Structure 1
Amino acid sequence: MSHHPITTTQTQLSFPAAAPITSHRIPRRQPPLSMRRRRLACNSSKCRNGMVGFHEMELQVREYELDQFGVVNNAVYANYIENGMFQVFYMVGFSDEARLAILESSYKFIAPLRKKDKFFFKGRIYECSPARMYLENFIFRLPNQELILENKAIVVVLDKSSHPLRLPPFVKSRIDELNKRDNQHLL
């Protein structure tokens, strides 16, 4: 048996390969004006006391919510936020029978929660259109009130055939009343 040396050739690959530029680009969808121009009510890690008109609830991390690294799994934060948002909806006047759907939700993860951490949720509806509600939500670690997560969401009310409905007048007036009270407090 003869041994033949194995020869290899190396080729230069540019990865990822650049796609040819075409004029058929998909336009980037811009968020509504209210979402683009509005700053969050909290821009510092210690802003719990300056937030008025927010619904607040205190929770604790449970063992089964942790991932393999001992921190809360990112998907669990969505559960925390959704639970808190429904509490906000009850505060505004929706009942358990209301069919609400989250159209958009964006998360900004700032720090992780760990086993047995106590934390609180703060959330509110800061604006509404005839059919949509715009929410901002926050999660803070206790006792030092460290900001853990920021969330913005757009929610609609659905009818029985899952079509968006206009907001009931009592909801719109309650949201306007809460926001007006918030604005007067900040002046």
Structure 2
Amino acid sequence: MLTSRSDYYFELEMEVRDYECDLQGIVNNAVYMHYLEHARHKFLHAIGLDFEQLHREGIDAVVVKAELDYKKPLRSRDRFIIRLLVHREGYLRFVFHQDIYRLPDEEFILAGKITAVLLRNGKPALPDSIMQAIERFLEEKTPGGRA
């Protein structure tokens, strides 16, 4: 969890669907990975990167490490927000810090840290188009705004 809402670069609101809950009536742990993935895809689209087009060009983002710290459960029909911050780690790795908060009370639900690398035709690579889009975003964006 970051210290302030202004620390994040991007946020996405969602709602829990009934089928995402287990017998306990709470969101199944595995579903949170889908939530975080969806937010990352929406973030990439917001900065001008088309995930499907990149795949057609042989470029894929691959999660190499996922750390999830579950704090409280979400339940059916809960509204929540995913907030995201990204930074580069070395040349090929991008680390996404993603936190989930229940709405409207802003209850802290989950802290996620997802590390991804880019592959071009199965080999580690950082294509210029992606590097430029992400670096342009990181240079222009200061924490506190919404993407």
TM-score normalised by L of structure 1: 0.66
Map 1:6-155 → 2, pairs under 5 A: 42-43=2-3, 47-48=4-5, 50-52=6-8, 54-96=9-51, 97-98=53-54, 99-155=60-116
Cα distance in 2 between the residues matched to 1:153 and 1:105? 5
Q: Which residues of structure 1 form unaligned runs of 5+?
A: 1-39
Residue number in structure 2 paired with 1:182? 143
Residue number in structure 1 paired with 2:57? none
State the Cα distance separating 1:153 from its structure 2 match.
1.1
Cα distance in 1 between the residues matched to 2:25 and 2:103? 18
Deviations 1:80-99 (A, max 9, x none): 01111112222333222221
Cα distance in 2 between the residues matched to 1:115 and 1:174? 38
Cα distance in 2 between the residues matched to 1:91 and 1:122? 14
The aligned amino acid for 1:51 is: D
Higher relative contact order (CA 8 A, sep 6+): 2
Aligned partners of 1:88 and 1:125 also within 8 Å: no
Cα distance in 2 between the residues matched to 1:93 and 1:77? 25
Aligned partners of 1:131 and 1:167 also within 8 Å: no
Aligned residues: 137
SS at match of 1:182: coil
SS at match of 2:143: helix
Cα distance in 1 between the residues matched to 2:83 and 2:65? 18
The match for 1:165 among 100, 105, 125 is 125
Aligned partners of 2:7 and 2:85 also within 8 Å: no
Higher-Rg member (1/2): 1
Aligned partners of 2:27 and 2:74 also within 8 Å: yes
SS at match of 1:113: coil
Percent identity among equivalent residues?
27
Cα distance in 1 between the residues matched to 2:48 and 2:139? 12
The CA RMSD measured in Å over matched residues stands at: 2.1
